[in-house]
Structure 1
């Protein structure tokens, strides 16, 4: 296919009149399942054990608090994206609300975060696959996954949508089945199981064995598991009706995700003594083992494997669209602006994949040194992104109400008070990270990376002003 240059224009709110030059191949079912499955990943299936260890049964409250914060962010993002859909989503919103420096900073930081985290997902999936087929080395599996999903993302956006639809369907199905089995076991309906009732919730030190400080520590352990929801608003720009599609996806996703997270945590801590949970090992496997499900470990291995590949696919997609949007606004090399005849930004995909490969190589060769520093540098970037989403929504809501109120088809709850509550919540997480010896290095490295990008953005602003003055 031949490449075609893009075109864009600006409307009253700073958005594009002509629409995105990308393909419109994503359907409502793709976006709905992307919203549902986007945050159901290894962080939930495996990482939740660390949260249970510090909060006990109170981990359900930790997920409720962290999930509420994520829901507020998604509602804000949904409001802006339904009014002004764009492939750069929150990067475009930040530029419209705060200026070029904000769009540049949040766009490049988010892109950097995706291509680094991609390495963790590719390596994790390769480790599982290597356990199944040891004849293929770990690096061989990484290569297979990267090439496969690169091809899928280069072909057509509907390929991405279909893969994510079925990945998300499997993950959601696994969670629903887990909840059903867990509830049947709790009430003693399953064969060979006795009703445990509320014994594990009230024993072992009570529902809050480590007090509210444990719940707070649990929030810190689980809040970043909600990262990934943002991709649905990026993808909405490539649907047939972006404004309607993103609104429906956001509405259907947030409540169900909270139900899946909090519900599965309550099932786990009801069926197992919280003190028996081992960090780094899946509490879901422990529950399935208790229920006598044969091959529980391998079943969960399959689910985690699918979750990792799903995240890998979504990150390749999200990073390519973000860097394409940056190029569209003159914030990245113009060569990335061309799209294929089928509406796929192939150069942006290849640029993102190239840095993804570099990250994977660093993770395979220096997982505890060079790559660890990179991972720490993006570990808390999500808070910066969420913060700019909230500030952007505060600014843009008033502007949209003045210039195009009919575009506010999805509104933020309790504006502006809940937006300020979300900002206060993010500030509290930052304070918690500073006070936590384990999380502090991650926050400081991420703050350093953010400061560097802001410095570059500021230098560009100064340069452009001098040029315009001359």
Structure 2
């Protein structure tokens, strides 16, 4: 038995085998270039393009500190996850690790919560994409565009994991190139080096010329943290996708090591350009969006339509990855007996069709709720999944505290990625995440998200504990004399 087999089978409950008549499990259909672009593009969501304006309005230039704080937290969480994923690549990623390190109830709970988060995201992103497409072709109603987008990406995911990887390669590639070009052109304009620019090229003056670097006070940094934290969700996707690659250990190591510069360039770099091109309180930032306003200040024609194309690409990328991620988590749950066994069945191409169709079905239902009851039912779904990202990160931290010892005991040679300053930085990260959650309880905008997310999490954990107790009852009876 190999060290990988040891890590997979010892110390936890056995996984249910995949039904051989439906295929022999997931296939290594993702190429290195797919994983590289998934890793790079995974941290660039539509929230960066759409949500940065509200963060700038709330904190001013100090929003850069908010992005830096959340970025640091994500880097640390990804390092912990990378340590575990490099040692034991798995389609269930942190859910399977929590299952083993913390107990079956933990793997069940965080797996289903994560699945719930992503199927709600499917509805949000499908609606956002439909709004843009309807603006271009109003003859097709918004609901039809949402349906078309969902059907196309469902077909892509059903085709093969390679088809998902190819779509995501190009979607993520467009996002990366767009932000890279935006930063390069913006910096030239900031320092007056862009020929024909309408921007006066004031250098770094706008960082302090409208009330200083902290115009709304130091407390606004924490408000900014709450506004930007959820735009980072998705960094962990590469650790799920690595399980379907030829060299998962190398892919995870590379993605983990590059997360620092990815966050620094794409988030901090692009928001820095916006803040140096325009005063933070310029009305165009909130009216037109931060990136459109920045492009307009340079004199780029049709800036709004250019950004719509980029945002649509980000939306499609998020939809594509969301469906992939939800289906692989459902596959993992099915394989461990925590979801219907059909979820763990794959076809001849290694595609978990039932898991994909179940995920997209819930996504379609959520889209319907968004159109029929946007302020009641869908608002509940949105708020009750709002803090799941933070719950996932907390579970990753707690799991890594236990998994380090398990890996060292059973397969130390697989510890190729190590968390820095273990366990001190792990505990510090737990403290940071807990602080954000507590602070949200005292924030009018964040309170409902935390309370409703805790309610849903409590229900899921309750189900998990009840299942575990019922599963143990026959064993207890047999042991009783």
Q: TM-score interval w.r.t. the shorter chain?
A: over 0.9
Structure 1: 5+ residue runs without aligned partners? 1-6
Which residue number corresponds to residue 404 of structure 2?
A: 397
Q: Is the 8 A contact 1:114 1:315 kept in 2?
A: yes
Deviations 1:333-364 (A, max 9, x none): 11222101111111111111111111111112
Which residue number corresponds to residue 241 of structure 1?
A: 247
**Distance change >3 Å, CA 281–CA 107, structure 1 → 2:** farther
Which residue number corresponds to residue 4 of structure 1?
A: none
1:207-356 to 2 correspondence within 5 Å?
207-277=213-283, 278-279=285-286, 281-356=288-363
Distance, in Å, in 2 between the alignment partners of 1:17 and 1:120 is 33
Match of 1:436 among 443, 460, 466: 443
Deviates more, 1:390-399 or 1:33-42: 33-42
The alignment status of 1:205 with 2:218, answered yes or no, reads: no
Distance, in Å, in 2 between the alignment partners of 1:407 and 1:10 is 13
Q: Is the 8 A contact 1:9 1:17 kept in 2?
A: no
TM superposition shift of 1:46: 1.2
The alignment status of 1:196 with 2:202, answered yes or no, reads: yes
The alignment status of 1:94 with 2:101, answered yes or no, reads: no
Which residue number corresponds to residue 393 of structure 2?
A: 386
Deviations 1:222-271 (A, max 9, x none): 01110011111111100001122111122223322222101111111111
Deviations 1:269-290 (A, max 9, x none): 1111101154474200000000
The alignment status of 1:139 with 2:112, answered yes or no, reads: no
Q: Is the 8 A contact 1:336 1:348 kept in 2?
A: yes
The alignment status of 1:110 with 2:114, answered yes or no, reads: yes
Deviations 1:129-179 (A, max 9, x none): 000011111111111111111111011100000111111110010111011
Distance, in Å, in 2 between the alignment partners of 1:366 and 1:207 is 41
The alignment status of 1:462 with 2:469, answered yes or no, reads: yes
Deviates more, 1:122-131 or 1:260-269: 260-269
TM-score by length of 2: 0.93
TM superposition shift of 1:60: 0.9
TM superposition shift of 1:403: 1.3
Name the SS of the counterpart of 1:286 in structure 2.
Answer: helix
TM superposition shift of 1:39: 2.3
Match of 1:183 among 177, 187, 209: 187
TM-score by length of 1: 0.96
Deviations 1:402-441 (A, max 9, x none): 2111001111111111111110110111121011011101
Which residue number corresponds to residue 43 of structure 1?
A: 47
**Distance change >3 Å, CA 18–CA 352, structure 1 → 2:** closer
Distance, in Å, in 2 between the alignment partners of 1:247 and 1:118 is 29
Distance, in Å, in 2 between the alignment partners of 1:41 and 1:12 is 37
Deviations 1:184-204 (A, max 9, x none): 011101124432112211211
Match of 1:377 among 364, 375, 384: 384
Distance, in Å, in 1 between the alignment partners of 2:321 and 2:85 is 18
Name the SS of the counterpart of 2:346 in structure 1.
Answer: coil
How many residues align? The count is 464
Q: Is the 8 A contact 2:45 2:232 kept in 1?
A: no
Deviates more, 1:291-300 or 1:13-22: 13-22
TM superposition shift of 1:18: 9.8
Q: Is the 8 A contact 1:42 1:307 kept in 2?
A: yes
Distance, in Å, in 2 between the alignment partners of 1:280 and 1:362 is 28
Which residue number corresponds to residue 21 of structure 2?
A: none
